[in-house]
């Protein structure tokens, strides 16, 4: 059998995970700072929960199958629909407004490319139960704070409103909600296929060329409505610089469930597409059988953030703390070595031992080198007799004899010196 992974699914090495964990920690920290609490939902949802929420094109990307009980189930496609299902199911016991963050993988049967996978992490922050522009402004502010904290301050936020778009489509005499959504799905591709591509798609959908012209003319003239202007003003007061908040009348967001303010965050070079996207979805919870609760939120595209961090050199990880390999020279020193190992670990110093009894000294040193350990603590018969160890700095190759009792203190001071 040829061992291979599925396309769009990835393994992560220790090196990858160092950066991924650090970014996850930063996200959790910022979300908590803004008063969001964590939530996790299952990987599988009922098929009917997911279907018909995103739009026909997105629906085709759902991973669905029939389980052993004959039910149609689907894998999480995003975190917004599962949150809405959770709220619909638990509305009686939830205190509103409800602010949650969620960091979990989602699955989409996409055509893969750089920054586009079939299994990827999304990181969402949402506020349920407030119709106020302040809720949308808070979502924008928390997203901006995340990018600031990660050092990606050049990221800009494009903002628009589905209400503005629905109105300009109605003014162009496109009043059917179905057709309006269909036009917005095409408009969402403008950065990928250009204005010409969107026009072609709209024409294939049956819109006349004069109607398409009117739609684009209306988009060109569009201005923020009162609610959107309030969101922008409040986001500024929450610390998002004016120049980072750009009203973009062509922004439409691809998913059907958006009803109001929509936003997207991208880098200036834009090679990776959007880094984050979100908006207001006031009907989704009700559609899932819950009460008519308004909601707004953002999905941060974790994978693309990681790519951008790596590209801009911000993905380098400075190790903190030191790491030690305890080396018994022969098998007779095993007990003393294990005692030393325990003492170091109890004092919070990262320490390991080669996991094989009686391994050759050379093999152990090679292992320490390969794993990038800072120090070797070498214990031979002489050291055991004298209650000492040989402390070898693997960076400089210098070594000294240290009494067993002083080892922890010595390593702690070494670590501070070597990190400074």
Contact residues: ligand AMP, CB under 6 A: 78, 108, 110, 115-117, 120, 122, 274-277, 299, 301, 303-304
Nearer to ligand AMP, 181 or 207 (CB): 181
Residue in the shown chain whose Cβ atom is closest to ligand AMP = 301
Nearer to ligand AMP, 254 or 350 (CB): 254
Nearer to ligand AMP, 273 or 350 (CB): 273
Nearer to ligand AMP, 23 or 329 (CB): 23
Tell the smallest beta-carbon distance from residue 158 to ligand AMP (Å).
11
Residues 6 or more apart whose Cβ sits within 8 Å of residue 63 = 74, 75, 77, 107, 108, 109
Nearer to ligand AMP, 288 or 327 (CB): 288
Q: Are 162 and 151 in contact (CB under 8 A)?
A: no
What is the C-alpha to C-alpha distance for residues 119 and 260, in angstroms, rounded to an integer?
Answer: 28
Tell the smallest beta-carbon distance from residue 157 to ligand AMP (Å).
12
- Tell me the DSSP string of 328-362: ESSGGGHHHHHHHHHHHHHTT-EEEE-SSTT--HH
Tell the smallest beta-carbon distance from residue 124 to ligand AMP (Å).
9
Q: Is 26 exposed, middle or buried (0-12, 13-18, 19+ CB in 10 A)?
A: middle
Tell the smallest beta-carbon distance from residue 42 to ligand AMP (Å).
18
Tell the smallest beta-carbon distance from residue 98 to ligand AMP (Å).
20
Nearer to ligand AMP, 45 or 303 (CB): 303
Tell the smallest beta-carbon distance from residue 384 to ligand AMP (Å).
55
- 3-class DSSP state of 243: helix
Distance spanning both ends of the chain, measured CA to CA: 50
Nearer to ligand AMP, 74 or 277 (CB): 277
What is the C-alpha to C-alpha distance for residues 197 and 186, in angstroms, rounded to an integer?
Answer: 9
Angle formed at CA 167 by CA 260 and CA 161, multiple of 5 degrees: 25
What is the C-alpha to C-alpha distance for residues 381 and 402, in angstroms, rounded to an integer?
Answer: 15
Nearer to ligand AMP, 251 or 379 (CB): 251
Q: Are 365 and 359 in contact (CB under 8 A)?
A: no
Pairing of strands 375-379, 323-328: parallel
DSSP state of 94: P
What is the C-alpha to C-alpha distance for residues 100 and 104, in angstroms, rounded to an integer?
Answer: 13
Tell the smallest beta-carbon distance from residue 63 to ligand AMP (Å).
12
Tell the smallest beta-carbon distance from residue 152 to ligand AMP (Å).
13
Residues 6 or more apart whose Cβ sits within 8 Å of residue 237 = 137
């Amino acid at each position: 059998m040829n061992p291979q992974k599925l396309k769009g699914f990835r393994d992560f090495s220790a090196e990858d995970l160092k950066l991924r964990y650090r970014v996850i920690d930063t996200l959790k920290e910022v979300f908590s700072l803004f008063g969001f609490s964590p939530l996790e939902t299952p990987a599988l949802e009922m098929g009917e929960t997911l279907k018909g929420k995103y739009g026909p094109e997105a629906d085709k990307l759902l991973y669905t199958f029939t389980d052993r009980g004959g039910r149609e189930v689907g894998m999480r496609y995003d975190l917004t629909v599962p949150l809405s299902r959770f709220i619909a199911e638990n509305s009686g016991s939830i205190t509103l407004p409800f602010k949650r963050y969620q960091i979990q993988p989602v699955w989409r049967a996409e055509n893969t490319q750089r920054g586009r996978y079939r299994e990827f992490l999304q990181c969402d922050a949402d506020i349920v139960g407030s119709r106020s522009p302040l809720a949308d402004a808070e979502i924008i502010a928390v997203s901006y704070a995340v990018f600031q904290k990660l050092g990606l301050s050049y990221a800009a936020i494009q903002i628009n409103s589905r209400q503005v778009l629905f109105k300009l489509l109605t003014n162009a005499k496109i009043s059917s909600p179905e057709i309006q959504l269909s036009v917005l799905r095409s408009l969402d591709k403008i950065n990928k296929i250009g204005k010409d591509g969107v026009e072609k798609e709209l024409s294939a959908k049956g819109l006349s060329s004069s109607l398409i012209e009117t739609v684009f003319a209306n988009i060109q003239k569009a201005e923020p409505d009162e609610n959107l202007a309030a969101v922008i003003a409040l986001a500024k007061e929450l610390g998002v610089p004016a120049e980072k908040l750009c009203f973009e009348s062509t922004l439409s967001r691809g998913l059907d469930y958006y009803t109001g303010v929509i936003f997207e965050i991208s880098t200036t070079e834009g090679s990776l597409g959007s880094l984050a996207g979100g908006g207001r979805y006031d009907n989704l919870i009700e559609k899932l059988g819950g009460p008519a609760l308004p909601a707004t939120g953002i999905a941060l595209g974790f994978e693309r953030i990681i790519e951008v961090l790596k590209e801009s050199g911000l993905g380098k990880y400075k190790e903190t703390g030191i790491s030690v390999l305890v080396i018994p020279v022969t098998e007779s020193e095993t007990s003393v070595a294990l005692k030393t190992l325990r003492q170091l670990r109890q004092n919070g110093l990262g320490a390991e031992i080669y996991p094989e009894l009686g391994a050759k000294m050379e093999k152990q040193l090679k292992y320490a080198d390969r794993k990038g350990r800072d120090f070797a603590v070498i214990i031979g018969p002489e050291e055991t007799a004298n209650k000492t160890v040989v402390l070898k700095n693997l960076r400089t190759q210098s070594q000294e004899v240290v009494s067993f009792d002083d080892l922890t203190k010595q390593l702690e001071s070494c670590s501070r010196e070597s990190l400074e």
